Structure 1
Amino acid sequence: MGKGFYISKPLGFVLFGLGAGAVLTIFALSVVYVQEKRKNEVNARDGTRIVTTAAPHRTSAPSNEAWDKYRLPDALLPEYYNVTLWPRLVPDEEGMYIFTGKSGVVFTCLKETNLILIHSNELNFTLTSEMHHAKLTGLGGTSAPAILETWFQTQTQFMVIQLKRKLQVGKSYWLYTEFHGELSDNLGGFYRSEYTENDVKKVVATTQMQPTAARNVFPCFDEPSMKAVFHLTLLHPPGTVALSNGMELGTKSFTIDNQEVLQTRFEPTEKMSTYLLAFVVSEFTNIRSPPEANILIRIWGRREAIESCQGDYALNVTFPILKYLENYYNTTYPLSKSDQIALPDFAAGAMENWGLVTYRELSLFYDPKVSSNEDKEWVVTVITHELAHMWFGNLVTMRWWNDLWLNEGFASYVSYLAADYVEPTWNIKDLMVQQQVQKAFDVDSLVSSHPLSSREDEVITPDQIDQLFDTITYSKVFIMCQKQLEITLLSSNYLHEYAYSNTVYTDLWKKLQEVNSSIQLPASINEIMNRWILQMGFPVVTIDTRTGSITQQHFLIHPEAVVDKPSDYNYEWFVPITWLKSGSNMGQHWLLTKTASYEPMKTDTDWLLANLNVTGYYRVNYDPQNWERLLTQLNSDHKVIPVLNRGQIIDDAFNLARADIINITLALRTTKYLYEEKEYIPWESAVRNLEYFFLMFDRTEVYGPLKAQPLFDHFKDITSNWTQKPPRYMDQYNQINAVSMACKTGVKGCSELTRMWYRQWMKNPDTNPYGKFEFSDSVQASSSLSRYLEYSIDPNLIRKQDITYAIVYIADNVIGQPLVWDFVRANWDFDDGSFFSGGLINGITKKFSTEFELQQLQRFKEDIAASSFTFDMQAIERAIEQTKANIKWISENKAQVMNWLIEQSD
């Protein structure tokens, strides 16, 4: 799964001349001295031999030297690591949490070189007896060249070891280091998580290596293609348990400097990438699968949570998920155990570490007393996503991060299949369209979008890699691959041929072509799919039923935006168009050019519906006459049109209107039939799209035409006057829409109902873990929200992982939104900006629709660009683009919308 993003602070002031510069230089040197003194003292306390921990750190201008390039040279290949780590779960006398470590790596020389480059970042090294920061030994009778010089290249995060002579091709060597680092609370690398149990503070040492943080824990060849076997040993305090990717081989106790320490060794890992390595030291407990199960499954977490059965649901679904995936992939689960652990502090939703999957508590724990259906669904889909990675991502891994979608896109798709298997009554596969396809549409319709797969040389730095963990990577491609081409990996040899290895996307196309050669396709899989992954965006297909003409064009939500990203395919896709005519006649046609003609789609009387059951990644527009026939059918007998397409018609219409392709009143008319609609998917599509109107106008009148009374009454009836749950899972979701829309549109009895529920909830401590929070007026509300914003960046009050959610939630409040915008602009450099993410920017700026707000955004972008910090600038670019589109949309549509709403209320 995804991970966090980090930025740094801008240089806000100019130094006042050479005198001030001299003073600052003296101050900086004194700081360095104190820091180095502390480092020496820390190592001395560990009983290690210290000469100095300082080593040259170089930051140079771009050059042709290997150490100034971000990618590793291809001269060395790791085979296995021996790593021993000792995290301290109590601070030293200076309040610092540290870990110490020893690491050795065996590597083979593939090309002659007198240079060893190995990733290392924010680690401090102990000098060897040869007065170097590493020791090199030859294996198998090979003599190792002496080390000439060692230094650290800060920008590219390398330990650079220059040798007096070249390594021999085909020979293996052992590189050994001793080091220490900080066990910080930054949620990356080897970090600490804290919680309170029985009024006692507990500290957990845990990891998050993806994508480039393994180098913060020990020196390693930190690229996904540099797979190796890891032998790990952890030292930890008595009363704690240590976990890692492999099964524990045994734990023994011994004493170091009068301090009792436990040592746990683990079985070697499978051959895998560095970003999948994980280990945890904690006082957690677990529940586990019965002895007769052929895979040991353990759910770990805080004792209180485990003993209150919050891990039971995860344990119950994990084994059937694994068995389903074994069958789906036609490949046995390759490990002996599957540990899943819930962490109090975790930046991502979860992480697919092989054999030790780490989760936020909300992503693994389900408490029937306080958790909702949505919480339960989140747990099962996150678990299925992470376990899907055990094969697609862990067993077979992308060669480089530019193909991250090979890991994440397929895991996203398979998560719905596996979740549907373990919860068959939920019909969860239908949610894929709204939760994945439409989510991808929103981002992919902007010119600031990006192709699924870029060239390797376009994704080099850690920041560029971070930016790939986005909606496009997770949600776009494999729905097309699986549904449009009607192909499956089930019978392919892809996983078997590339097991424990790395691939590029063309390897996948090759294997799919081999096993699906009998499918009638208009071109090779490579030619079809490259058009979808090597260029950003997607098409809108326009069908003219009067002539049978079909056209495609690149769909942009802001039609006047300029696309400055060229495409080799000229934004032309091979589009599989599935269609239904008047409820009975159906077919499929491939659109291979910008414009074509297809006689079976020509009609004067029948309605025609394209993208049947939303199996294609494209939007659909029609001639005015066919739009009218579709609206007539919806208003007369909507059930003739499949439920997924009823939601699609609404979503397509509103987005086509926002792109100035159809009139806004046509989009609004697609909601009129909802008077008779009871299904969740069409209602959710309407609510989601009308929310844009609410954002732009801040007026509830936009909900007028929905006439929510019938839906409210329907749920009142099927729940026996709100005393029972709706019978179907999707109905339980839609009940939320029914009550929400009824209250917004003033349905009688709705406000009284929700007040009654609220009073009941507040009185029940089993279902309400929160205190009461009231506002008496807008002034008090503003003051309280401002105070809560200050709380949001206090880690003692709001966990770092939740900062974005807290701030965005405040921004959703009309009073809170301007407060949040001012707050973020003043504090975006908080804690090196670790809370400053694309999701935060989107949540704050989604209401922006004035020239003044656009100017503020542009100035904000300039401030960040002028700083020395790095950040996902695409998020700000998207916000600027969306704000421009909002301004234009309001100027062109506000009068029409209000006039139409007035007409409907008459």
Structure 2
Amino acid sequence: MAKGFFISKTLGIVGIVIGAGAVATIIALSVVYSQEKSQNNELKPTSEWTTTKAPTVPTTAPSNEPWDQWRLPQTLEPEWYNVLLWPKLKPDPTTGLYTFSGSSSVVFKCVQETDLILIHSNKLNMTKHPTLTAHGSTPAPPFKSYRMETKTQYLVIHLEGKLTVGEKYELHTEFMGELADDLGGFYRSEYFENGQKKVVATTQMQPTDARKAFPCFDEPAMKAVFNITLLHEHGTTALSNGKEIEIVDTVVDGVSVTKTVFESTEKMSTYLLAFIVSDFGVIERNEVPQIRIFARKDAITSGQGDYALNVTGPILRFFEKYYNSTYPLPKSDQIALPDFSAGAMENWGLITYRETALLYDEESSSNGNKERIATIIAHELAHQWFGNLVTLRWWNDLWLNEGFASYVEYLGADNAEPAWKIKDLIVLNDVHRVFAIDALASSHPLSSKEEEVQRPEQISELFDAISYSKGASVLRMLSDFLTEPVFTQGLQTYLKHFEFDNTVYTDLWDNLQMAVDNTGTPLPKPVREIMDRWVLQMGFPVVTINTKTGEISQKHFLLDPESVVERPSDFNYEWYVPIKWVKNGMTNNPIWLLEKTIIREEMKSNANEWILANIDVVGYYRVNYDQDNWNRLLNALKTSKNSIPIINRAQIIDDAFNLAKARMVNITLALQTTEYLSSETEYMPWEAALDNMDYFYLMFDRTEVYGPMQAYVGKLVKPLFEHFTTLTNWTDVAEGHTDQYNQVNALRVACSTGLESCTSLVKTWFQQWMKNPSVNPIKPNLRSAVYCSAIAAGGAQEWDFAWNMFKSASLASEADKLRAALACATKPWLLNRYLEYTLDPDKIRKQDATATIINIASNVIGQSLAWDFVRANWAYIFNQYGGGSFSFANLINGVTKRFSTEYELQQLKQFREDNSNIGFGSGTLAIEQSIERTTANIEWVKQNKEVVLKWFMDAAKTL
């Protein structure tokens, strides 16, 4: 699934700025540098997964009976299903509910003698007595009883006799369910077209919601063949994983309907099933495989699906070559849904997307919107082999599935758009992003034991930044030290050997080891031994290099050095670390750090030499140096920055700031890494600096540090703003892909720090738009920053105008920009009203509720309002939105990220206590992480406030 549940992909949509015009009150207000960025993070994936399952069951099974266990017994193996479903796209005239009816026959083999059938079923009402027939000569035993076990979500059938090992049986069920708007299982999505409400019946099965559509063995290892038939209204189109093989009109229960029959699927897992009924438009390319894009008719007719159609073929062909495996299906359908909890979902042959992740408009979409579409399409297409053709046995290995797709999405997108040079951006979007979480004592390893991941909410909790971004980061490191040819050779044999089957992550290590052995690639340890240390223990090391003595050492990096790591590690939190390094810009032979400390003579340097390790940030670790080497690196940045690769200029900044947070270097050293930026025009170093300065804004935007900090940042960014003024005169966009992102950075930061030439620009643009709403004069790349700035500077008139434009926007990405910018208001009553809107799906779609609250909390004016709102409404939020529309981990982290006082810490602990009876679902770990982060923030502010204040005051004078 695409990265979308959590945090951000900075790509694409710019950060948000507060401050338009020379209005003094606006300059006095703080706005988080990257509010829309956090929105995009929310959707990432960058994004994929935002769904959270509310725990409706006790945390421990009440007995040892099979139906009280969370895992299916290994007694039955499904082989194939015949499933017929009939979604009603009009509400029942009596109840007002939308429903679906259906029947399912599953043929399974008995592999262990049993008198019990357990099959998953959740929120389904059986309309007839289930029946069991034998496919062999021995009759099936009659039923003794059957019932629903709602806690563990089973249909439980007790038999009079035992099933025979080796025999096949067929279980037939007929049922009804609600076609609810909960974004999980078989659900409904709604939208308006030409003033008429339209309803789509669609699905989101991952991870445990296929059981809401029909009774099934709903575990990834229980692969089977599925024969799907859909009944639907005349004039609508039905889609599923397979191609349509029959479309006929018929009469069922006295109702005239269309029946669409689909070809049998390949052997596959239930979570990859999809079936959709809509009256969407379609564009297609008749090649092999057939490629089709479905979306709302007006989106298709206005060309919003064209980019996706054009890019899908090249990305598919890239992966066929990369995997050395032909795409295994005859078609690749992709559909954009108005309501969808994730960023996208890799259903085999029928990939579902949020509209923002698939639809692109040349006139109104930003550069970042385009990149997001390309990378998410690449992510989902990568899954068609890695995840769908070969599937991990259980959810504890989710990280390999999602981490792999999160890595190779950059390769697929780079192949389709080589001019973007996108592959390096994984460092900003994934490596740096996940470092912040993995440096907490409350982090978790990539891979857990199967018994630690049992309940649906435990499974949902795994769809986090660790699984996606750390998974991508360590696999990128693995590919680098093996070399790409060896990595792909092992990958190809893995996919060939396990096609249509299930694996555990060590199966990939075994195939990679075979490739290492076949090619004679030198490694200091076997692949499994190296990678176990990165996969089975949480966190990562900081590698410290002393250029005076040549000593290289490693230590578990923790943002709060006083935090206690309670999780034991078989490896004592030591790693096998590959180190690529340069001396004065000259490449040296890589070094492996296989112990806690080693001495290497070549790491010594004299007063004229600087050493830089982790070139291109291919290693998943941070680097610290002795003070003399830091000084030489600072001097190199100021005097010869081009001798340091762009990606490592970003690394130096990010490492220094985080080492300072961990009290391993002085905070002034970190701040000094930003001084050279007045002569920097590249995106990656600027983005790294702004991301880290964002923490300073969070900690200090309510203190006396804020003014001097604004003055320093304003002076720092002014040359960048002037650079793009000369380059584009703000009437055009920069030419390069990342240059366009940095143009946005220049605008939003210059405006947020009160640069008059910037604020007058944005104020003029927004006023022009308000006078003529049908013509938007603002460049798509700049809209997020301009919208936020204008709304912050304005009042109810500007807010209401933006709200009306949001409600009428026909392009989802444009609506998203406006939705995020509405949170930039500086009038508390406007923000309180907006918070109330998040609980009304007619105003804010359920899929966007979490992101909107986080956007409001990112505004210094809205932070306390959002926190009060979440606390006051937690029971309602949890019970009403637990089915899929709220990401509780994101929500808790988002509303508490500014916490830095003892009072806020006590509030957070009280919130945990007050709601322990309600629960936190997939936000359970986030509560602990927020408490840990707040504790660290308190200590950091206490130690650094006075030093930081003085530094900014002095630096603002001398810059």
Deviation at 1:257, TM superposition (A): 4.0
2:861 equivalent to 1:815: yes
2:424 equivalent to 1:430: yes
- Distance in 2, matches of 1:59 and 1:900, equals 51
In the TM superposition, 1:254-269 aligns within 5 A as 254-269=250-265
- Distance in 1, matches of 2:393 and 2:181, equals 30
Name the counterpart of 1:206. Answer: 202
In the TM superposition, 1:493-532 aligns within 5 A as 493-517=493-517, 518-532=520-534
Name the counterpart of 1:713. Answer: 722
Aligned-partner SS, 2:652: helix
Structure 2 gap ranges (5+): 2-47, 798-823
2:826 equivalent to 1:775: no
Q: Identify if the C-alpha distance between structure 1 residues 60 and 379 changes in structure 2 by more than 3 Å, giving closer, same or farther.
A: closer
In the TM superposition, 1:579-594 aligns within 5 A as 579-594=581-596
Q: Identify if the C-alpha distance between structure 1 residues 779 and 557 changes in structure 2 by more than 3 Å, giving closer, same or farther.
A: closer
- Distance in 2, matches of 1:270 and 1:89, equals 29
In the TM superposition, 1:537-556 aligns within 5 A as 537-556=539-558
- Distance in 2, matches of 1:684 and 1:472, equals 22
2:740 equivalent to 1:732: yes
Name the counterpart of 2:951. Answer: 900
Deviation at 1:875, TM superposition (A): 1.0
Name the counterpart of 2:412. Answer: 418
Structure 1 gap ranges (5+): 11-56, 129-133
Structure 1 range deviating more: 141-150 or 198-207: 141-150
1:166-217 Cα deviation digits (max 9, x unpaired): 1111111101110111000000000000000111110000000000000111
In the TM superposition, 1:683-832 aligns within 5 A as 683-698=686-701, 699=706, 701-706=708-713, 707-719=716-728, 721-762=729-770, 763-767=772-776, 774-775=794-795, 781-830=827-876, 832=879
8 Å contact kept, 2:142–2:161: yes
Deviation at 1:867, TM superposition (A): 2.8
Normalization by structure 1: what TM-score?
0.92
Q: Identify if the C-alpha distance between structure 1 residues 282 and 803 changes in structure 2 by more than 3 Å, giving closer, same or farther.
A: same
Name the counterpart of 1:16. Answer: none
2:656 equivalent to 1:653: yes
Name the counterpart of 2:351. Answer: 357
In the TM superposition, 1:194-593 aligns within 5 A as 194-289=190-285, 291=286, 293-476=287-470, 477-487=474-484, 488-492=486-490, 493-517=493-517, 518-593=520-595
Aligned-partner SS, 2:620: coil
- Distance in 1, matches of 2:562 and 2:867, equals 27
Q: In structure 1, what residue type is equivalent to 2:483?
A: E
Name the counterpart of 2:110. Answer: 109
Structure 1 range deviating more: 264-273 or 876-885: 876-885
Q: Identify if the C-alpha distance between structure 1 residues 190 and 403 changes in structure 2 by more than 3 Å, giving closer, same or farther.
A: same
Name the counterpart of 2:69. Answer: 69
Q: Identify if the C-alpha distance between structure 1 residues 629 and 58 changes in structure 2 by more than 3 Å, giving closer, same or farther.
A: closer
Deviation at 1:871, TM superposition (A): 4.4
Aligned-partner SS, 1:181: strand
- Distance in 2, matches of 1:905 and 1:374, equals 32
8 Å contact kept, 1:857–1:880: yes
- Distance in 2, matches of 1:619 and 1:871, equals 29
Q: Which residue of the other structure, out of 898, 907, 930, is the alignment partner of 1:847?
A: 898
8 Å contact kept, 2:51–2:342: no
8 Å contact kept, 2:406–2:468: yes
Name the counterpart of 1:859. Answer: 910
In the TM superposition, 1:78-157 aligns within 5 A as 78-93=78-93, 94-128=95-129, 134-157=130-153
1:254-278 Cα deviation digits (max 9, x unpaired): 1234421111000001100000000
Structure 1 range deviating more: 694-703 or 630-639: 694-703
Structure 1 range deviating more: 882-891 or 692-701: 692-701
Structure 1 range deviating more: 694-703 or 657-666: 694-703
Deviation at 1:126, TM superposition (A): 2.2
Deviation at 1:587, TM superposition (A): 2.3
8 Å contact kept, 1:700–1:745: no
8 Å contact kept, 1:7–1:869: no
Structure 1 range deviating more: 523-532 or 723-732: 723-732
Q: In structure 2, what residue type is equivalent to 1:677?
A: E
1:127-185 Cα deviation digits (max 9, x unpaired): 33xxxxx2111103232111111122221111111111111111111011101110000
Deviation at 1:872, TM superposition (A): 2.5
Normalization by structure 2: what TM-score?
0.87
- Distance in 2, matches of 1:413 and 1:585, equals 25
Q: In structure 2, what residue type is equivalent to 1:830?
A: Y
Larger Rg: 1
8 Å contact kept, 2:54–2:457: no
Deviation at 1:781, TM superposition (A): 1.4
Q: In structure 1, what residue type is equivalent to 2:63?
A: S
Q: Identify if the C-alpha distance between structure 1 residues 246 and 7 changes in structure 2 by more than 3 Å, giving closer, same or farther.
A: closer
Aligned-partner SS, 2:327: coil
2:684 equivalent to 1:681: yes
Larger relative contact order (CA 8 Å, sep ≥ 6): 2
- Distance in 2, matches of 1:829 and 1:348, equals 23
Aligned-partner SS, 1:516: helix
8 Å contact kept, 1:121–1:157: yes
Deviation at 1:235, TM superposition (A): 0.4
Q: Identify if the C-alpha distance between structure 1 residues 59 and 321 changes in structure 2 by more than 3 Å, giving closer, same or farther.
A: closer
Name the counterpart of 1:613. Answer: 616
Q: In structure 2, what residue type is equivalent to 1:743?
A: C
- Distance in 1, matches of 2:860 and 2:58, equals 49
- Distance in 2, matches of 1:818 and 1:718, equals 41
Deviation at 1:816, TM superposition (A): 1.3
1:671-729 Cα deviation digits (max 9, x unpaired): 1111111100000000110111011110253244442221111111111x222221211
Name the counterpart of 1:52. Answer: none
- Distance in 2, matches of 1:311 and 1:815, equals 38
8 Å contact kept, 1:363–1:379: yes
Aligned-partner SS, 1:281: strand
Q: Which residue of the other structure, out of 645, 666, 671, is the alignment partner of 1:663?
A: 666
8 Å contact kept, 1:463–1:872: no
- Distance in 2, matches of 1:144 and 1:336, equals 38
- Distance in 1, matches of 2:321 and 2:915, equals 49
Q: Identify if the C-alpha distance between structure 1 residues 470 and 836 changes in structure 2 by more than 3 Å, giving closer, same or farther.
A: closer
8 Å contact kept, 2:660–2:670: yes
Aligned-partner SS, 2:589: strand
Q: Identify if the C-alpha distance between structure 1 residues 589 and 823 changes in structure 2 by more than 3 Å, giving closer, same or farther.
A: same
Q: Identify if the C-alpha distance between structure 1 residues 749 and 766 changes in structure 2 by more than 3 Å, giving closer, same or farther.
A: closer
Aligned-partner SS, 2:122: coil
- Distance in 2, matches of 1:810 and 1:447, equals 28
Q: Identify if the C-alpha distance between structure 1 residues 81 and 712 changes in structure 2 by more than 3 Å, giving closer, same or farther.
A: same
8 Å contact kept, 1:83–1:104: yes
Deviation at 1:856, TM superposition (A): 0.8
Deviation at 1:7, TM superposition (A): 6.0
- Distance in 2, matches of 1:260 and 1:371, equals 42
Aligned-partner SS, 1:587: coil
Aligned-partner SS, 1:232: strand
- Distance in 2, matches of 1:147 and 1:805, equals 49
1:83-138 Cα deviation digits (max 9, x unpaired): 0000100011210111001000000111111111111111110233xxxxx21111
